[in-house]
């Protein structure tokens, strides 16, 4: 199983990049091999081991300033069986859907705006320091969670890693121990805890957070 730290994007040397200028001529189809070295680095904080190179097939396009990425990534991995600790093999196939916005340039300070101080009236100081409303805070939080790109190219390494990790079963089992009555991925904690529909098993919270964020972007 991925360790709790696996939900945080790893710092990886960029391998899968696309120049923004290349997208101006139209959508770009990319077929990349996920090498064993790349997979070893991507899965460094987990118990996953790639059994062979993987593959990513993506279509990348640009609409206005927004970059759209669609396709899939696949790889065969092994990890310890949660019941016997023997190696359990899984074919991971992640559907990749991304909408990337450019990083907004920091706003230049308005030199004409009054600075609060002894010489500034209380009304002017109040306008300068007006607290955000709940709606403004919500919009600010949503903007900070959006996926972005910066500069003349986009780098997809960390995104591919994140999508693959989402496909890892929470309770891996050897193939001979898997059955419909005992699935590798357990029922949602919301269904298994009596009387508490909002309960989330603490062990699943890191990956649940990623899944919730990706679900919100799709909507």
Instruction: Give 31-75 pLDDT, tens digit per residue.
Output: 999 999 999 999 998 999 999 999 999 999 999 999 999 999 999
**DSSP single-letter state for residue 120:** S
Q: Which residue has the higher pLDDT, 210 or 146?
A: 210
For residue 149, the cross-strand partners are 102
pTM: 0.61
Furthest-apart CA atoms within the chain: distance in Å: 78
Instruction: Report whether 50 contacts 36 (CB < 8 A).
Output: yes
What is the distance in angstroms between the CA of the first residue and the CA of the last residue of the chain? 28
Q: What does the buried/exposed string (b/e) look like for 59-79 if buried means 16 or more CB atoms within 10 Å of the residue's CB?
A: ebebeeeebebebebebebbb
Instruction: Report whether 207 contacts 170 (CB < 8 A).
Output: yes
Task: Show the tokens assigned to 50.
Answer: 């790639």
Question: 127 by DSSP, 3-state: which?
Answer: helix
Q: How confident is the model at residue 97 (pLDDT cuts 50, 70, 90)?
A: very high
Indicate if the pLDDT at residue 163 is higher than 60: yes
Question: Rounded to 5 degrees, what are φ and ψ at 181?
Answer: -75, -20
Average pLDDT over residues 143-155: 76
Indicate if the pLDDT at residue 218 is higher than 70: no
Q: Which of 91, 215, 85 is nearest to 164 (CA)?
A: 91
Q: Which residue has the higher pLDDT, 6 or 154?
A: 154
Q: Which of 107, 145, 106, 148 is nearest to 20 (CA)?
A: 148
């Amino acid at each position: 199983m991925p360790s709790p730290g696996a939900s945080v994007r790893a710092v990886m040397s960029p391998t899968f990049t696309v120049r923004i200028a290349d997208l101006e001529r139209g959508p770009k189809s990319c077929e990349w091999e996920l090498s064993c070295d790349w997979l070893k680095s991507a899965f460094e904080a987990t118990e996953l081991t790639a059994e062979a190179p993987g593959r990513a097939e993506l279509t990348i396009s640009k609409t206005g300033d927004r970059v759209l990425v669609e396709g899939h990534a696949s790889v065969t991995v092994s990890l310890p069986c949660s019941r016997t600790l023997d190696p359990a093999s899984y074919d991971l196939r992640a559907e990749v859907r991304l909408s990337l916005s450019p990083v907004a340039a920091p706003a230049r300070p308005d030199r004409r705006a009054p600075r609060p101080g002894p010489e500034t009236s209380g009304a002017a100081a109040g306008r300068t320091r007006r607290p955000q409303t709940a709606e403004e805070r919500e919009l600010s939080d949503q903007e900070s969670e959006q996926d972005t790109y910066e500069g003349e190219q986009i780098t997809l390494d960390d995104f591919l890693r994140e999508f693959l990790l989402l496909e890892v079963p929470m309770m891996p089992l050897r193939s001979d121990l898997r059955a419909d009555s005992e699935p590798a991925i357990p029922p949602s904690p919301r269904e298994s805890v009596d009387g508490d529909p909002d309960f989330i098993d603490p062990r699943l919270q890191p990956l649940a957070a990623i899944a919730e964020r990706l679900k919100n972007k799709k909507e």
